[in-house]
Amino acid sequence: MVRRDTVEQYYQMAQKITSANQKRSGTIRHNLASSLDYDYVTWRLGGEGLLKKKYHQIYQMLQETRCQDLKMAEKGGCPDGGCGSKGSETDGTGLTDAMNIRTLNFHPRTTLESTSCMDLTRENPSIVIIGDVSDVASKKSVDGFAVNDNDSSYLAGGIKVPAACLIKEQERRFLAASTFYWTEQDEEGRILLRSKTDVSDVLKVIGASTLVESMTVEAPVPVRHTGGQKTTIYYNRKGVLDDSLWDYYYENVATTSEKINIHMPFKGSVTFSKGFAPKTPPYIDRNKEFYFYIENEKNGVANFNLSQMSAISLSVSGRTLSWEFPTDWKTTIAKKALTGASQLTFYCRMHIMTDSGISVPLTIQSNNLDHEDPSYAKIPKIDILWGCFAKDTYITMAGGSRKMVCEVRPGEQVRTRGGSCKVEDLIQGPEERLFLIRTARGNEIRLTENHPLLTTEGMKMAKDLTWGSILEMEYGRDTIEELHLVEYHDTVYSLLLADEALLIADGFFAGDFKAQNRAMKEAEAAAKEEKNRKLAPFQEELNELVASLAEEKGERHEREYGERSL
């Protein structure tokens, strides 16, 4: 067995960690200059003795990290600029890392479930999550998990336990704690092993009932195609078929060359069970953890700006509370995260105070988790789209004729690299500047920076092309001789095809609207081919250790509750 300590000792240490930071819940970044943090971090990994004896690479990296933290402590600093509690960034300045317990759900007739995720803004050589859900009264772990991945930026893990084996008393209380590990490089090139712990609020279960009767999310959900698999939002790109392909549309959304402001609705209501009602006047309990963001599983998360909290509308009618958040989040997201290749995940966890003094957590998200817990709601994922050609760009039609892109209409057939395809919509919107590309043979095109063109090296966005790049053209290959930004201040257009294809624009093979939004993600993935080879021994040790921890947690659960059945 990997573990030499008892679950009760672990539980008590988790409580000390949170108490030391004066928080009953929330995310805590560990500073290994603190003996309490160091003991906890090594404990989670099986104990200092085990690491020192068997896992030398992991132990050495922890010592390097501790040495760095001690040096910073002598100078009055903390790792990463802050010690103790450190939750999600909420100042509205772009994408950030997210490491937190996403759900702690219970339904008396089905299961107790908890999930934890880490979503980083960059690929990391090694990431780990070690988590447990504990019974507060007995201080025993109900179940736990340990997962890891190499050369990744996203990881998730969790537990799922039948409720029947847990309901033994009138009132039960559960607590989730997850510790996240990742590697980072310091200024001198040393690889350090950093960590955070997220501790959930206590989940109270009163007999076979729940505190929430029902919850409804009105937005963001598909409104044009009820029951759709995704919610589509257009920014600054209105289609000729205004109401056929998008669910929400926002004009004049501020953008820069790298980022775009987030506009998105969030509206819904919750009805509490009999005997409970929202406190009047209603409010979101800010003493508890509050998470509200959208994420891309390869680029991190963009948080709702907390400066907008005062603009949230809350109202009460009997046992029902309704909310509506401002559509302008006052935050930005990197354009590279807005790709057709991957929809965005919506996530909100907020606590509503009841008149009985109990703060009730509500979770709304759009991942793959379904649960019967009425305080949990799953909604479809989000697509945000934009980007286009100059209006005088000529498109080759299926019959060989040419039309300006602004004159092409839905239902018409355009020629593609492999044949022809029907146009579903014409997307349009304002643009201040465009990239002008001129080839050695004199062909010229103007298009937005993120529009992809076909090169001998595959699809590349306009902003990633250089002088000398070789393009695949309708008439053969051609070389870029001129590439620069030009003033435009007019409307741009893009075609949305029935199937993703390469259309012909001014003789260039160019992606349609779907391909354009997909290209940014593919370009980023192509840039991450090389792995950090010197970390291979560390990664091998970590793989072995995490597998041992996962096995031990499974055996412990079976001793207490019987064989895992889910």
Q: What is the DSSP string of 178-211?
A: EEEEEEEE-TTS-EEEEEEEEEPPPEEEETTB-S
pLDDT greater than 70 at residue 316:
yes
318-357: b or e for each residue (b if 16 or more CB lie within 10 Å)? ebbbbbbbbbbbbbbbbbbbbbbbbbbbbbbbbbbbbeee
| 46, 154: one domain | yes
Spacing of C-alpha 314 from chain mean position = 26
Q: How much is the pLDDT for 205? A: 67
- How long is the chain? 566
Nearest-Å Rg of the Cα atoms of the chain is 26
Mean pLDDT of 376-388: 82
DSSP state letter for 393 = P
Nearest to 35 by CA among 22, 25, 48, 45: 48
Quick check: is 78 in a domain?
yes
Q: How much is the pLDDT for 520? A: 52
Q: How much is the pLDDT for 326? A: 97
Quick check: is 256 in a domain?
yes
| 232, 326: one domain | yes
Q: Is the dihedral of CA 269, 332, 346, 125 positive or negative?
A: negative
Q: Are strands 389-390 and 458-461 parallel, antiparallel or unpaired?
A: unpaired
Distance separating alpha carbons of residues 94 and 77, to the nearest angstrom = 25
Distance separating alpha carbons of residues 153 and 125, to the nearest angstrom = 9
List 176's β-bridge partners, or say none. Answer: 133
| 412, 462: one domain | yes
Q: How much is the pLDDT for 368? A: 72
What band does 11 get if pLDDT is binned at 50, 70 and 90? low
| 494, 556: one domain | no
CA quadruple 31, 33, 36, 39: dihedral, nearest 10: 90
CA distances for 3 relative to 280, 377, 437, 545, angstroms: 48, 36, 62, 11
Q: How much is the pLDDT for 254? A: 78
| 503, 422: one domain | yes
What band does 229 get if pLDDT is binned at 50, 70 and 90? confident
- pLDDT tens column, 447-505: 988 788 999 988 888 888 888 899 999 989 999 988 888 888 888 888 888 887 899 99
Distance separating alpha carbons of residues 493 and 491, to the nearest angstrom = 7
Q: Are strands 111-135 and 140-162 parallel, antiparallel or unpaired?
A: antiparallel
Nearest to 140 by CA among 7, 14, 18, 43: 7
List, in order, residues 6 or more apart from 124 with CB less than 8 Å away.
151, 152, 153, 182, 183, 184
> Looking up tokens 């070789």, which residue turns up?
470
- pLDDT tens column, 182-205: 998 888 878 999 999 988 877 766
| 450, 331: one domain | no
Q: How much is the pLDDT for 15? A: 62
| 403, 327: one domain | no
Q: How much is the pLDDT for 9? A: 57
Amino acid of residue 237: R
Helical H segments across 214-357, by residue range: none
Query: In this structure, what CATH number is given to the domain that contains residue 420?
Result: 2.170.16.10
pLDDT greater than 80 at residue 21:
no
Of all residues in the chain, what percent carry a pLDDT higher than 90?
Answer: 39
Q: How much is the pLDDT for 478? A: 95
* Element spanning 303, H or E: strand 300-303
Distance separating alpha carbons of residues 120 and 46, to the nearest angstrom = 25
Q: Are strands 230-235 and 381-385 parallel, antiparallel or unpaired?
A: parallel
How many domains would you assign to the chain? Answer: 3
Distance separating alpha carbons of residues 115 and 124, to the nearest angstrom = 21
pLDDT greater than 70 at residue 339:
no
Report the range of poorest mean pLDDT among 61-65, 205-209, 417-421: 205-209
24 or 209, which is more confident?
Answer: 209
pLDDT greater than 90 at residue 122:
no
Report the range of poorest mean pLDDT among 26-30, 221-225, 308-312, 530-534: 530-534
| 378, 394: one domain | no
* Element spanning 41, H or E: helix 35-44
Quick check: is 198 in a domain?
yes
What band does 14 get if pLDDT is binned at 50, 70 and 90? low
pLDDT greater than 60 at residue 82:
no
Mean pLDDT of 267-278: 93
- The number of CA neighbours under 13 Å toward the Cβ of 193 is 24
Q: How much is the pLDDT for 216? A: 97
List, in order, residues 6 or more apart from 520 with CB less than 8 Å away.
335, 336, 338, 339, 450, 461
> Of 352, 369, 385, which one is at a domain's C-terminal end?
385
pLDDT greater than 90 at residue 342:
no
The burial class, CB within 10 Å (0-12 / 13-18 / 19+), for 369 is middle
| 69, 191: one domain | yes
Quick check: is 231 in a domain?
yes
Task: For the full predicted model, state whether its pTM sits above 0.75.
Answer: no
Quick check: is 447 in a domain?
yes
pLDDT greater than 90 at residue 385:
no
Residue 271 lies in domain: 212-385
Mean pLDDT of 128-147: 88
Structural contact between residues 235 and 492, judged by C-beta atoms closer than 8 angstroms: no
Distance separating alpha carbons of residues 551 and 544, to the nearest angstrom = 11
Tokens of 496: 């949305």
Spacing of C-alpha 49 from chain mean position = 36
Q: How much is the pLDDT for 58? A: 96
List, in order, residues 6 or more apart from 527 with CB less than 8 Å away.
none
Mean pLDDT of 230-247: 71
Angle, nearest 10°, between helix axes 536-561 and 56-74?
A: 100
Quick check: is 100 in a domain?
no
| 360, 417: one domain | no
Mean pLDDT of 303-323: 95
| 408, 436: one domain | yes
pLDDT greater than 50 at residue 87:
no
Q: How much is the pLDDT for 88? A: 41
| 330, 427: one domain | no
pLDDT greater than 70 at residue 318:
yes
Mean pLDDT of 308-323: 96
- pLDDT tens column, 396-453: 999 999 999 989 999 999 999 989 999 988 887 788 888 899 999 999 999 988 788 9
> Of 385, 410, 441, which one is at a domain's C-terminal end?
385
Q: Are strands 389-390 and 359-365 parallel, antiparallel or unpaired?
A: unpaired
pLDDT greater than 60 at residue 92:
no
Quick check: is 94 in a domain?
no
pLDDT greater than 80 at residue 74:
yes
* Element spanning 131, H or E: strand 111-135
Nearest to 126 by CA among 540, 548, 552: 540
Quick check: is 102 in a domain?
no
Nearest to 503 by CA among 447, 564, 563: 447
Q: How much is the pLDDT for 2? A: 38
Q: How much is the pLDDT for 386? A: 62
